[in-house]
Amino acid sequence: MSGQPSLMTDDFIQKVEQFIREDLRLTLDELLEKCPGISRSVLHEVISNRLDYRKLTARWVSKMLTEEHKQERIEAGRMFLERHDEQGEEFLV
């Protein structure tokens, strides 16, 4: 063991999550400015592995879908299939 304290404390992880929830459009560079003394790799590890977020269309999005989100996706897919069955290729235009 190196004797250095771990940077990934529960408090730090909660702080990073709070920053992300306050502004989902924060970039990694902006988060680095809010967390001085933290390396890019440590911050990326916290965001992607500990908090399970990924960047999607310029926003941080949780990788885990809730059961409600999964159900909404299933219902949307069914709606699109029904519209395609009713309208055929016109639906795609």
Q: Is the pTM of this model over 0.95?
A: no
Q: 59-69 burial, b if ≥16 CB within 10 A, otherwise e?
A: ebeeeeeeeee
pLDDT at residue 15 in the model: 93
Pairing of strands 59-62, 53-56: antiparallel
Read off the tokens for 29: 């560079």
pLDDT at residue 58 in the model: 61
Helices and strands (H and E) in the chain: how many: 4, 2
* Residue 63 predicted with pLDDT over 80: no
